Amino acid sequence: MSTPFYVSPQQAMADRAEYARKGIARGRSVVVLQYTDGVVFVAENPSRALHKVSEIYDRIAFAAVGKYNEFENLRIGGVRYADLRGYTYDREDVTARGLANVYAQTLGTIFSSAAEKPYEVELIVAEVGSAPEDDQIYRLPHDGSIVDEHGSVAVGGNADQISSYLDQRHRDGMTLAEALKLAVESLSRDNNGGERTLTAEQLEVATLDRTRPQQRKFKRILGRQLSRLLEETGAEEPAAGAEADAGTSGTPAEDAGGKGAGGAKGSGGKGAKGKDDTEGEPPL
Amino acid sequence: MDFLGAHAPDLLPGNRPLPPLQGAIEAPHGTTIVAAAFPGGVVLAGDRRATMGNVIAQRDIEKVFPADEYSAVGIAGTAGLAIEMVKLFQLELEHFEKVEGAQLSLEGKANRLSTMIRSNLGMAMQGLAVVPLFAGFDLDREKGRIFSYDVTGGRSEEHGFAATGSGSVFARSALKKLFREDFTEHQAATAVVQALYDAADDDSATGGPDMARRIYPIVTVITDEGFKKLTDAEVSEIARAVHEHRLEQPDGPRAALL
């Protein structure tokens, strides 16, 4: 008869948190910023079909990083929760706070249940209000805690660095183009200080726009509109313009990143370092 | 909707216990809905009257709703049930779109509505029928399409124009004589208002344009740009023009004999 090893609860929880954090750190980041007309979500996502940012309800959207099947499961659960609530009561009665609570319960239960592996996901739930003060952004880490955020948030692989970069530069009342520019700048910084170039094809951008006349405020910014917004910001600064040029030539991502960084910052070659982090299945 | 059925079946319209049989239940009934297609879209319109027996229950009821961005549904029959059915239908289309990341096809939407009407058959047999008219813009075929239903959920596609509800016989006949294949959006809107006027002329349960209270029919247009409800000002302009001509010719425009 074998004697089971004793593992202290602290150690068990620390191991699970470590496991989840490692899984999340492998993926590319998502940033969420408030701007004057609402909330903008920017994700680095080469896939057109697998979304990291999605609509939940009229004024509520969802962004996630980590394992796709796990956060997709949570997204569908959230859409069901919101639709059922809105049908039973009223569309007004669906709130980001309620949804974030449900997510926190789910994630917390899974994290502390010994029978299941912890979810390797980190979520953002945001709701746009009638004025910037009424906007709500909640960040939900893998262990089921809730963090009420203001201004800007980042989750995913390089979140700490991106967050501090955003905190220093984000201000209230930015336009969509300004916020988008800041988001793309923050996402294109590597964890070792280098810079990559992100083109419109590698970005997934969506907004919750309070000025939209429809009831459903969520809108994806795609194709021409996205390129135009990126160019609008690029025109103000010559360096950013050069990045856009590199993008249009259709060079593969890592290559363009290396070259762009080499030209602009003199730290060429390090852009490829990002590859080492991506092991196992393609992260999102 | 499977999830709702499994978790809260009492919220689904078809799952309610039937009331005991003791004659027809008195509940407000919506009346006439008409639709007409034109190149590039479709117009769906409804009068504003709800009746309960011989009483006018409501004179400003709205019976035409957007189902999603590219379709609309107009309802005739028991108002309470019908409005809830539309609410559930809207929810289903939106839910599908969000979960799947793509819109249902127009045929898919029409079929789904058919199932929902069939689930109400028990109530319909007791006099609480719901008979909608569904119209939408088919993004694949790039044209407006109209679907009509019967109480058992039978679905049939109508070509050109259609009507449902108590005044539908008169409305359809009127529209038959007025309809042209090459209508503009404004002409199609005028034709459906004419048809509703004729329905109100001969059917006591259908309300005509109420000039004194400024209650005009609801007219909606669906094109490749999506659903749009004509504003009160736009409809009142059409309704007033129709009314002006009827002062000269009470029976409306005359069609050619041959």
CB contact under 8 A, A54 and B88: no
Computed over every residue of chain B, the mean pLDDT equals: 92
A9-277: in CATH 1.20.80.10: no
Residue B48 lies in a domain: yes
CB contact under 8 A, A88 and B3: no
Measured between beta carbons, the chain A residues lying within 8 angstroms of B101 are 49, 51, 54
Question: 């199609």: which residue's tokens?
Answer: B188
- B188 torsion bin: left (phi>0), alpha (psi -120 to 50), beta (else): alpha
Answer whether A138's CB lies under 8 Å from A126's CB.
Answer: yes
Please list, in sequence order, all residues whose beta carbon lies within 8 angstroms of the beta carbon of residue B219, skipping any fewer than 6 positions away. B43, B44, B45, B64, B189, B192, B193, B229, B230, B234, B235, B238
CB contact under 8 A, B7 and A84: yes
What residue of B is the nearest CA neighbor of A51?
Answer: B101
**Domain residue limits, chain A:** 9-277
Domain that holds residue B78: 27-248
Which is higher by pLDDT, A279 or B3?
Answer: B3
DSSP letters of A163-213? HHHHHHH--TT--HHHHHHHHHHHHTB-TTS-B----GGGEEEEEEETT-S
Measured between beta carbons, the chain B residues lying within 8 angstroms of A88 are 8, 11
User: Chain A interface, mutation test: which of B69, B95, B96, most A Cβ atoms within 10 Å?
Assistant: B95
Other CB atoms within 10 A of residue A275 CB? 9
Residues forming a β-bridge with B222: B42, B227
Measured between beta carbons, the chain A residues lying within 8 angstroms of B65 are none
CB contact under 8 A, A87 and B7: no
Q: Which amino acid would we find at residue A100? A: A
Measured between beta carbons, the chain B residues lying within 8 angstroms of A49 are 101
| For residue B14, pLDDT beyond 80 | no
Q: Can you give the pLDDT of all 284 residues of chain A as single tens digits? A: 677 788 898 998 999 999 999 999 888 899 999 999 999 999 998 888 899 999 999 999 999 999 999 999 999 999 999 999 999 999 999 999 999 999 999 999 999 888 889 999 999 999 999 999 999 999 999 999 999 999 999 998 888 999 999 999 999 999 999 999 999 999 988 766 677 888 888 899 999 999 998 899 999 998 888 988 888 765 544 443 333 333 333 333 333 333 333 333 333 333 333 334 434 455 56
Answer whether A246's CB lies under 8 Å from A256's CB.
Answer: yes
Question: What is the number of H-type helices and E-type strands within chain A?
Answer: 9, 10
CB contact under 8 A, A87 and B94: no
Measured between beta carbons, the chain A residues lying within 8 angstroms of B100 are none
At A209 the pLDDT is 94
Structure tokens at A263: 């030209």
Q: Work out the angle at residue B40's Cα, subtended by the Cα atoms of residues B66 and B85, and round it to the nearest 5 degrees.
A: 20
At A217 the pLDDT is 94
Q: What is the mean pLDDT of residues B48-60?
A: 92
CA distance B226 to B243: 29
Structure tokens at B41: 């879209």
Answer whether B106's CB lies under 8 Å from B71's CB.
Answer: yes
Measured between beta carbons, the chain B residues lying within 8 angstroms of A71 are none
Residue B218, helix vs strand vs coil: strand
Chain centre distance of CA A170: 16
Strand (E) or helix (H) holding A153: strand A152-155
Other CB atoms within 10 A of residue A72 CB? 18
CA distance B197 to B217: 9
Catalytic residue status for B31: yes
CA distance B234 to A114: 64
Structure tokens at B118: 């069939």
Answer whether B181's CB lies under 8 Å from B165's CB.
Answer: no
What CA–CA distances, in Å, run from B175 to B43, B63, B158, B179, B199? 12, 19, 13, 6, 10
CB contact under 8 A, B7 and A83: no
How many residue contacts between A and B have a Cβ separation below 8 Å?
A: 29
Structure tokens at B247: 């002062």
CB contact under 8 A, B91 and A86: yes
User: Chain B interface, mutation test: which of A71, A84, A220, most B Cβ atoms within 10 Å?
Assistant: A84
- Is the CB of residue A88 less than 8 Å away from at least one CB of chain B? yes
Q: Which amino acid would we find at residue B210? A: D
Using CB atoms, pick whichever of A51, A83, A216 lies closest to residue B101.
A51
Instruction: Determine phi and psi for B253, rounding to 5 degrees.
Output: -60, 145
DSSP letters of A67-112? -HHHHHHHHHHHHHHHHHHHHHS-GGG--HHHHHHHHHHHHHHHHH
Instruction: Determine phi and psi for A202, rounding to 5 degrees.
Output: -95, 0
Answer whether A284's CB lies under 8 Å from A45's CB.
Answer: yes
User: Chain B interface, mutation test: which of A83, A88, A102, most B Cβ atoms within 10 Å?
Assistant: A83
CA distance A200 to A223: 7
DSSP letters of A253-273? HHHHHHHHHHHHHS-TTGGGG
- A266 torsion bin: left (phi>0), alpha (psi -120 to 50), beta (else): left
Count the domains in chain B: 1
CB contact under 8 A, B11 and A87: yes
Residue B203 lies in a domain: yes
At B24 the pLDDT is 61
CB contact under 8 A, B98 and A86: no
| For residue B1, pLDDT beyond 50 | yes
CATH of the domain at B141: 3.60.20.10
At A239 the pLDDT is 40
Residue B115 lies in a domain: yes
Q: What is the mean pLDDT of residues B206-229?
A: 94
Measured between beta carbons, the chain B residues lying within 8 angstroms of A68 are none
- Is the CB of residue A87 less than 8 Å away from at least one CB of chain B? yes
Measured between beta carbons, the chain B residues lying within 8 angstroms of A87 are 4, 11, 87-88, 91
* End-to-end Cα separation, chain A, in angstroms: 44
Closest to A125 measured CA to CA, from A105, A107, A101: A101
Answer whether A152's CB lies under 8 Å from A170's CB.
Answer: yes
At A283 the pLDDT is 54
Catalytic residue selected from B31, B32, B51, B220: B31
- Cα of B17 to nearest chain A Cα, Å: 19
Question: pLDDT for B124-150, tens place per residue?
Answer: 888 889 999 999 999 999 999 999 999
Residue B258 lies in a domain: no
At B19 the pLDDT is 65
- Is the CB of residue B98 less than 8 Å away from at least one CB of chain A? yes
What CA–CA distances, in Å, run from A94 to A88, A104, B88, B202? 10, 16, 16, 46
Residue B184 lies in a domain: yes
DSSP B23: S
User: Chain B interface, mutation test: which of A74, A80, A215, A218, most B Cβ atoms within 10 Å?
Assistant: A80
- Is the CB of residue B212 less than 8 Å away from at least one CB of chain A? no
At B13 the pLDDT is 75
- Is the CB of residue B91 less than 8 Å away from at least one CB of chain A? yes
CB contact under 8 A, A79 and B91: no
Using CB atoms, pick whichever of B91, B98, B99 lies closest to residue A87.
B91
- Cα of B16 to nearest chain A Cα, Å: 16
